[in-house]
Structure 1
Amino acid sequence: MIGASWRRALDSGVDPDAEPPQQPLSVAELEHRRQKSQLAAVLPVLNEGLLATADAAQQIMVVTDAEGRVLWREGSAPVRRMADRLGFDKGADWTEQVVGTNAIGTALVARRPVLVHSAEHFIRSHHQWTCAAAPLHDPRDGRLLGTVDVSGPAQSFHPTTLSLVSAVARLAEGELRSRHHRSLERLRSSAAPVLARLGGQALVVDPNGWVVGVTGLTPPDRVALPKAPEAGPLWLPRYGMCALEPLPGGWLIRVGRAERETMPSRVVLDVSRRDGSTVTVSGPAGSWSHELSPRHAELLFVLAAQPQGRTAAELAQDLFGDAGRTVTVRAELSRLRRHLGSVLAHRPYRFADGVEVELRLPARPGRLLPHSLAPAVAAARRGRHMS
């Protein structure tokens, strides 16, 4: 395996006597990859299983995505400083094409746990290191998600580390499997009354197409959705023309229906309670409610109070007092559209045309979203209008 990896490094033009040129991810891109990575959910499992041992043994724990980019790095401070000198930091590219044979890059190619000890590294400046990495897969479909790695000085490395890393990787995949099952059960519970009211043929699926309920059809295990599905008409190979409607945590697929038959017509945004906010969407398929995070409650309040719409910069000013924080605003709106894609429009951001919006406010303006620090909410508490 090491020999095959060295040949790949040679074919890629890696120089064993030179420090590899690194182009680390920007802070914004690193944060974006962290947020969309499924591995963020299992960081506690990885930390609990590996971090204390790695720190005590003067090692570091590293988690990468499937492209070999370092997303998280924790562990011994002196070893982190040593890693910095090699460019082995957050955002770095640790694939074989860039740094030659190493546990992370080679595990990504071999798709199995890998130990690379000392001079087995292709680049000579890495010979002082030993690394053990195991790939992490999506237990639903086997898709590669990234790797978990323990690295450090070769003289302090214990021979059982690879077994430990492999075992913790399996625990993390088990946690992903359990989370998937729990999310399907939650979606199944909320979808049951919606399906019971429908006539014709329909399916409810999670964001990745896993089916939790059907009516009028033989249930498949999974439906092939587009990479970034949006509410509205959609042609599916097995079912022909369908209409897609968002549900909390998934999608309602109505087979053979036009968009106008499924478009929600009314939204009730309730920010009147101190203990939480909700949005309720009503349409031909009935109604459903979704509990809002504090940030999403702020966003929808601003959009409801400004029906003409807001740009990303205006929303950033409304929420943070800083018009430059558009990346954060767009990320939050992207998450909201998973639940409300059919009732939210953009350019500018607003509620879609033809959707009736009811905003339920507390009896006293001063009690509006009491924990919010957003400038727009603070202005509304004082009875002022946003500009």
Structure 2
Amino acid sequence: MDASPTAPESALRAAHEEFVASPGTPRAVRRLVADSWRRCTACGVRPDGSRLPPMRRTSEELAAYRRTHPLAAVLPLFRELLGAGAADDGHVFAVGDTDGTLLWVEGDTAAVGRAERMHFAAGAVWSEAVAGTNAPGLVLELGQPVQIVTGEHYSSAVHGWSCAAAPVRDPGTGRMLGVVDLSGGGTIATPPALAAVRGAALAAEAELARALAAPAALLGPDGRVVRAKGASRGRGDQAVRLTALGRDSALLDCDGRVHRLSPRHSEIVVALVIEGRGLTGDRLAVDLSERELCSSTMRAELTRLRAVLGPALLGSRPYALLREVRADYADVAALLAEGRVGEALARYTGPLLPRSEAPVVVEQRQALEQQLRGAVLGSGDVRLLRRWVNTVWGAEDAPAWQTLARGLPGGSPQRAAAAARARGLDTATALLPQVTRRAAVLQRSHS
């Protein structure tokens, strides 16, 4: 893929103006730039620079996040390799995470000030879906080193800048840990600038590999240093609790801190728990909607979720929960598998995310409800049947009322009431198509 720019600046700006006026297939730009512009248009990024990238973290949150990020260990190396000549060349170097959040932006004082005015600063999000075409964002999109110059940026606010960036990967797993970037003027629009960030990324990976090989510490799947073998388990190693039955907004209890998730974030977490081994963005989009979801929109949603949960819990590429999660619906399924129907019913506080239409949630919800209902009806236990029909989800279950009636003593008022309820539900079900047809006829007669 063409990673080096070739078109003159005037031609790039003219191509940008033409594309903004009439989106289609841009002329005079590289294919990776044209593809990026089209994605930006589809995701609603503004090309006129009127909406700057948001600052997603407060200074306190950012400081805590940076202390635990795996690339903090190689920041001194980046300063040595990329920051030493910043004052002479008037550039800045930046280090970002896999969601596009800039963690460090350092360099020439004047250049840092200009960068801050367009929100190219620590804590800002520069993913493609948020900031438009830029080198760090495209690295996250393509997984390879990229150079973007002046008018190739989708946002006109960045047309005075050029940037070169490269991915940094965990040497143990190959998982992307983040991105390193050089941004500035004409000196960054050259092959040596791209070579410099490539070299810095490779040097950082070599440093991480040495840390990985050291006996005193190990790197976890997210690149973070974890305890050595045989070390005692602390509170951070305890399972995370997910409560999603009977709720549209799931609760995630992590080390005593309870997160109330939005409905969409609830669906994402449930999908990740079900899959277990991690999901690509494309697969996650399929699990969450029967309609096609914009991949950049999906990444933006995961960026927001990571801001809530933190990188120690939510990993990326593939997206995965990095600690053991105990889910209430999984507990119910496990009890049913052991034949402990009464305990399973007691733990079942309602359908899984009842209003969710995400395919992966609907499938899990229906499977669990069918298993539980079948176990309750199959048990013939009057006590369990009573509990089932006295719930919102079992109140109109005619076969359950019939089974309850058969289990009650003959001639008892309770048996007669249960049988009457079953007959009433059967009658209502039989009449429903007629009522529906009659309503349709009346509607047509009044239209």
State TM-score, norm by structure 1. Answer: 0.48
Q: TM-score, normalised by structure 2?
A: 0.42
- The structure where helix makes up a greater share of residues is 2
Answer 1 or 2: which has greater strand percent. Answer: 1
From the CA coordinates, give the structure whose radius of gyration is larger. 2
